[in-house]
Amino acid sequence: MANPAAGENPYGLLQALEQGGAIAWTVFIILVIMSMASWYILFSKLIEQQRILNQGRRMRASFWSAPSLKDGQSKLEKNSAYRQIVDDGLLAQDQHTRLTDLVDQHEWLTGSLNRSSALINSKLSNGLAVLATVGSTSPFIGLFGTVIGIYRALIKIGAAGQASIDAVAGPVGEALIMTALGLAVAVPAVLAYNWLIRRNKVIAEQIGSFAIDLHGYMVSGGAVKPETVRAAPAPAVKK
């Protein structure tokens, strides 16, 4: 390798990749791809989750105040999670009237609404396995680069006959950089996975509550529905 110019760091990332050769470049490219996939999944899932959360707020503001279930259905956005549950509930209600064997309406609607909610939650979990895989495997991929760097340092020591700094600084620096890259990819992936899982639980709770309320509304013929208007808090009295 050419002597570095004055003030140039001879042990930077590019220098480590040049010294490591094909193996170092392969490890680096794999980690970059894994990092890009993690960030893409994080932002795409955040957008998807926020869209459903916004749909829930709009549903609570308009759906239960509708005079009938059909009117409430028309107020929900097409292809939204909440519209899907209502559509499946109405379809199950219509199918129940055509059943030849006696099946309790309560059980039939419960199964249909639970299945609809499960499909939504399953869709929300798509991609999270990639984050879990990246978070668990990228440190080991970086460790592979670390092992190769240490191995090259030992070869240089054996060839030089002594453990001089000049002989081992490059390979050891390469090994440490690979370790750092593996951790830099793993830590955001693990944090993103835990964050998205927590947000999915919140959405699942909201979806489940809506399905329960909708079930009660349907089996009672509209007589049972959640409270939508709460009394406004009394204004604070200034002292």
Looking at residue 154, its pLDDT comes to 73
What does the domain layout of the chain look like in residue ranges? 38-146+182-219
Specify which of 13-17, 92-96, 179-183 reaches the highest per-range mean pLDDT.
179-183
The gap between the terminal CA atoms of the chain, to the nearest Å, is: 78
- Per mean pLDDT, which range of 48-62, 153-167, 207-221 is the poorest? 153-167
Distance between CA atoms of residues 75 and 84, nearest Å:
13
Distance between CA atoms of residues 61 and 64, nearest Å:
8
3-state secondary structure (DSSP) of residue 188: helix
Q: DSSP letters along 41-65, please?
A: HHHHHHHHHHHHHHHHHHHHHHTTT
80 pLDDT higher than 60: yes
For the segment 128-155, what is each residue's pLDDT rounded down to a tens digit? 999 999 999 999 988 888 887 777 777 7
Distance between CA atoms of residues 129 and 139, nearest Å:
17
